[in-house]
């Protein structure tokens, strides 16, 4: 490690300019961020999700609904990424239903107004 700030700055790769990033990559990264945040709020990063200090189903609902809207609006542009992103969304929707004390009927869960009922 060096104390020279010029050398330290040279060691860090330059950030990509947003203009250079394809739209599909921006949308996919946003989807992955929403998926990761929803998984955390569902407690899925813990061995026992019911004991997770991060579990917050209201927050998870918001994140899953936002993800569903993004996926539905952009599915035609995601190409080969569309399937895995949709699968991730469905997995989160089902995990939400399982985590809920009073699960909603299919078609009424988070994001299902965009995706349709999830079984």
pLDDT in tens, 21-54: 999 999 999 999 999 999 999 999 999 999 999 9
Tokens of 88: 């991730």
Model pTM score: 0.83
Give residue 38's Cα distance to chain centre. 6
Distant-in-sequence, close-in-space partners of 115: CB < 8 Å, separation ≥ 6: 68, 71, 72, 89, 90, 93
pLDDT in tens, 45-88: 999 999 999 999 999 999 999 999 999 999 999 999 999 999 99
Helices (H), the chain: 5-11, 23-41, 57-74, 82-99, 112-115
94: left (phi over 0), alpha (psi -120 to 50) or beta: alpha
Tokens of 28: 């996919």
């Amino acid at each position: 490690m060096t104390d020279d700030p010029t050398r330290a700055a040279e060691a860090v790769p330059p950030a990509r300019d947003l203009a250079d990033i394809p739209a599909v990559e921006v949308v996919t990264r946003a989807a992955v961020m929403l998926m990761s945040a929803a998984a955390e709020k569902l407690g899925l990063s813990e061995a026992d999700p019911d004991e997770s200090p991060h579990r917050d189903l209201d927050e998870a609902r918001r994140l899953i609904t936002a993800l569903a809207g993004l996926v539905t609006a952009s599915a035609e542009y995601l190409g080969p990424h569309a399937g895995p992103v949709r699968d991730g969304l469905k997995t989160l929707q089902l995990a939400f239903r399982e985590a809920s004390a009073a699960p909603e009927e299919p078609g009424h869960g988070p994001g299902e107004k965009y995706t349709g009922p999830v079984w």
